[in-house]
Amino acid sequence: MSQSRTAAGHAMAAARDLSGAARHAAYAAGQAAAVAHVAAHELGAAAYAIKAARAAAPEGEGENSGRLECRDVDSTLGAGTTFRFALPLHTTQ
């Protein structure tokens, strides 16, 4: 478990120096690494994956890309999750 926390910390530290899709992807990696430490981090990983999809999308297509990624997250985490709230939260890329 301490290895997962260490890996998560490294990914989060690397994210601070990045911007856009790369930053969100690094935060997603950090959250994913922390799942062994606290299972709820899988929701954080999913949220950052959605943000990364939005930020990497061509101009004007971020919202749609985020929605597609959200569908993938829903299918991965299961329809019973309450993750649908994440998409409308931060609409800026």
The predicted structure's pLDDT at residue 81: 52
Which pLDDT tens digit goes with each residue over 30-84?
Answer: 888 888 777 777 778 888 888 999 999 999 999 889 888 888 877 776 655 544 4
pTM: 0.63
The 3-class secondary structure across the chain, one letter per residue, is: CHHHHHHHHHHHHHHHCCCHHHHHHHHHHHHHHHHHCCCCHHHHHHHHHHHHHHHHCCCCCHHHHHHHHHHHHHHHHCCCCCHHHHHHHCCCC
The predicted structure's pLDDT at residue 2: 81
